[in-house]
Chain A
Amino acid sequence: MGQAVEVTCPKCKKLFVVNPHMLGSGMDFHCPFCDLYFPEKDSPKIRK
């Protein structure tokens, strides 16, 4: 397991990194670029 997972924001489409423990946790991701909070299922791409 690596320490960084790339998540794509559904709104601004930019990539940011989250810890693997965020996946499946039920916690919303927070896009640092457009300030959107969104659930994992809304991300168009998650690269592990």
Chain B
Amino acid sequence: MPKSLRTFLDDCRKQIPNEVIHISQEVNPANYDVTAIIKHLGAHKKFPIIIFDKPLNLNRRVSEIKLVMNCEISQRKAQIALGMPKEATRPQMAERCLEMEEHRIPPIVIDRKTAPIKENVRVGRDVDLYEIPIMRHHEMDGGPYIVLSTITKDRKTGIYNCSYHRMEVKSKNTTALYASPRHLWRIYRDHEEHNLEMPVATVLGHHPAFHMGACYSGPFEVSEYDVIGGYLGEPLRLVPSETWGEDLLIPADAEIVIEGALIPGKRVVEGPFGEAPGYLGPQRYTTCAEYQVRAINYRNGAMYQSVITPEGDKPWMDLPREGAYLRRCREAVPGVTAVCKQGRHAHYNVFISMKKMSEGDPGRAAAAALTFDHTKNVFVFDDDIDVFNPTDILWAIATRVQPHRQVSILQPLFRGNFLDPSLVDEIKTSGMIVDATRPLDRPFSPVSKCPDEAMARIRLEDYVPGEVLQHIPTDRTTYWA
């Protein structure tokens, strides 16, 4: 059976049954009900997949489309999506992403009669985004927002691009799509220069491996449908769109796909929107294009998927980036062992660990990281530091850094991110490199530890039996250890 959101949910029900729950009460996603439920659960550090059985749509009626949340949160769900064991470490998962990106699998085109996404099709005047249970995510959001991946195709090369863009629902058949100046914007500007509409489709529910592949951040020339095939481990099944036919193919096993055109020369005001870094991205218009929705395709019993930023660890988005950073940093310094791009800080901070072979290695790795994405601050550590452990990170910064020697402040030469509220320029940002590695050219005090021999010889269960151990409460009040 081809991979889809449904096969993923089945896998989760088998492997983590306590982490798939249904909420059967009516909820109004456009009135923050769903946001509040997820925030309350998040306060308990609980991030189950939630299937809302009776969400209201934007017409304030119970939607025939269910709402699915939290598929993107937690490492275990990403492991299930990628077919990895629960013992897999985060760096191993990032390595796996690199392998999948290298072993790309081209998509296949199937007949529309066998494509689940064609079970229901609405075109023209029957298009109504208000029938979908679209959320307002945060206070001060400009309106209901769709936040999953949008697909387009380069006019010259025919390669497909898939990427995440926020889009504010403006009417039953229009949205305002905000694009930062990356691949989709490049393709749009090319269409605009030729006064052409740009074909687009947005996937509102699919297997997490699809969404992870859509986070690929490699060269422009790589067709991201091939990358998604690599992540799925099977060819992505495609079918012609209603609007563009074979000129824009859409995923056949998605839950819902909206399709249409970005209009050349038309800018629309959108925002504010509560964004991934944890702040409201201000209202804007310069890179916000009008998206005319001309068809909605959906499966029988369709489920609409959304995400809330910046709640929880989101391996969906972060893991492919960690893989990309690993690749780039290792090109500069082969001894790089791990890169952390996890959490709400991850847009701008990068934590790198390495086996340092030479003084200067940290600087080279940091420089490689700074060439990419929206990186602003780079912290480099020895490989005994777990860069996914904030306490390890702060300990190393406290004990291995002399600021006047090991902190470098870089001039504002770098393209930053519109969503970084600290910017004092329209787009450029300064940078910082913190080399928290031990020096190689002078003695440095060893880390205090219990001898390995004693740790192996002394078995805790001989002194503190399991039945005693299980009743000793875990100290959850101390963040610092």
Chain A residues within 8 Å of B, Cβ to Cβ: 1-5, 16-22, 25, 27-30, 32-33, 37
Contacts and interface: CB of A to CB of B under 8 A. Distances in A.
A46 to B, nearest CB: 13
Majority SS at the chain B contact face: loop
A19 B282 contact: yes
Contacts of B420: 3
Contacts of B462: none
A34 to B, nearest CB: 12
B158 interface: no
Given A19-B286, A19-B418, A37-B269, 18 more contacts: A1-B425, A1-B426, A3-B421, A4-B280, A4-B282, A5-B282, A16-B283, A18-B271, A18-B283, A19-B282, A19-B284, A21-B286, A21-B426, A22-B283, A25-B285, A27-B267, A30-B142, A33-B140
A30 to B, nearest CB: 5
Interface in B260-295: 267, 269, 271-272, 280, 282-286
20 contacts: A1-B424, A2-B423, A3-B420, A4-B282, A5-B282, A16-B140, A16-B283, A17-B272, A18-B283, A21-B284, A21-B286, A21-B426, A22-B284, A27-B267, A27-B269, A28-B269, A32-B141, A32-B143, A32-B272, A32-B283
A16 to B, nearest CB: 6
Minimum-distance CB pairs A-B, first 5: A19-B284, A18-B283, A17-B282, A19-B282, A32-B142
Nearest to A5: B282
Interface string B73-86: 00000000000000
Contacts of A4: 280, 282, 421
Given A3-B421, A28-B269, A17 B285 contact: no
B140 A32 contact: yes
A9 B233 CA distance: 51
Contacts of B271: 18-19
Interface residues of B, number: 21
Contacts of B424: 1-2
Interface in B416-462: 418, 420-421, 423-426
Contacts of A22: 269, 282-285
Contacts of B418: 3, 19
A36 B462 CA distance: 71
B284 A29 contact: no
A38 B143 CA distance: 16
A30 B141 CA distance: 11
Contacts of B142: 30, 32
Question: In the complex, which of the residues A2, A3, A29, A33 has the most CB atoms of chain B within 10 Å of its own CB atom?
Answer: A3
A19 B425 contact: no
A27 B282 contact: no
A25 to B, nearest CB: 7
Question: In the complex, which of the residues A2, A29, A33 has the most CB atoms of chain B within 10 Å of its own CB atom?
Answer: A2
Contact of A29 (B140, B280, B283, B421): B283
B282 A18 contact: yes
A34 B105 CA distance: 48
A19 B283 CA distance: 6
A17 B269 contact: no
Contacts of B423: 2-3
B368 to A, nearest CB: 27
Nearest to B422: A3
Interface string B106-150: 000000000000000000000000000000000011110000000
Interface string B358-399: 000000000000000000000000000000000000000000
A28 B267 CA distance: 12
